[in-house]
C-alpha cells in the first residue's frame, strides 16, 4: 500500500501500552479540533473531535485533551493494539462546517 509516513515523527510502543500523540495547532480562532487515523493505502479516518469550549473528551479507548493556552492537542490511546499502527493527524477548523487544516502527522508503530 501507499506510505504516507516518510520523514514523520515516529512513536514506537509495545502492545498493551498507552500511547500519547501530540500536536501543536496554529490558529487560536479554530473552534473544532479533530484527530484522524490514516493507514497505509487508505484515506484518513475520523477518530474523535473536540470543541474549543472543552478541555477533554473521551471515546472508545481514546481521549483527546485540548490546552488552548499553549495551542496544544493530544490523543491518548489506551491499551494500544497492533491494529492501531498508522499515521495520526490532527486537524483544526474554524467551525464545524468549514474546511480542515491538517497538521503534519505522527507515525505510531505498535509491536506485538
Partner 1 sequence: ETGVTQSPTHLIKTRGQQVTLRCSSQSGHNTVSWYQQALGQGPQFIFQYYREEENGRGNFPPRFSGLQFPNYSSELNVNALELDDSALYLCASSPITSRFTEAFFGQGTRLTVV
Which residue lies nearer to partner 1 by CB, 18 or 42?
Answer: 42
To partner 1, the closest distance from the beta carbon of 109 in angstroms equals: 15
Which residue lies nearer to partner 1 by CB, 4 or 21?
Answer: 4
Q: Kindly state whether residue 105 participates in binding partner 1, applying the rule CB under 8 A.
A: yes
Q: Are 107 and 5 in contact (CB under 8 A)?
A: yes
Q: Can you tell me which of 22, 74, 76, 93 binds partner 1, judged by CB under 8 A? A: 93
Q: Are 42 and 52 in contact (CB under 8 A)?
A: no
Tell me the helices (H) and strands (E) count for the chain, helix number first.
Answer: 0, 10
Q: Can you tell me which of 43, 53, 69, 112 binds partner 1, judged by CB under 8 A? A: 43
The CA distance from 105 to 8, in Å, is 7
Amino acid at each position: 500500500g501507499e506510505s504516507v509516513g516518510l520523514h514523520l515523527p515516529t512513536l514506537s510502543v509495545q502492545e498493551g501500552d498507552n500511547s500519547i500523540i501530540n500536536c501543536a495547532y496554529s490558529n487560536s480562532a479554530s473552534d473544532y479540533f479533530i484527530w484522524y487515523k490514516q493507514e497505509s493505502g487508505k484515506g484518513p479516518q475520523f477518530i474523535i473531535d473536540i470543541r474549543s469550549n472543552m478541555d477533554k473528551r473521551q471515546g472508545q479507548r481514546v481521549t483527546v485533551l485540548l490546552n488552548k493556552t499553549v495551542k496544544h492537542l493530544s490523543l491518548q490511546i489506551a491499551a494500544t493494539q497492533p491494529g492501531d499502527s498508522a499515521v495520526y493527524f490532527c486537524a483544526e477548523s474554524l467551525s464545524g462546517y468549514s474546511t480542515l487544516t491538517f497538521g503534519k502527522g505522527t507515525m505510531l508503530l505498535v509491536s506485538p
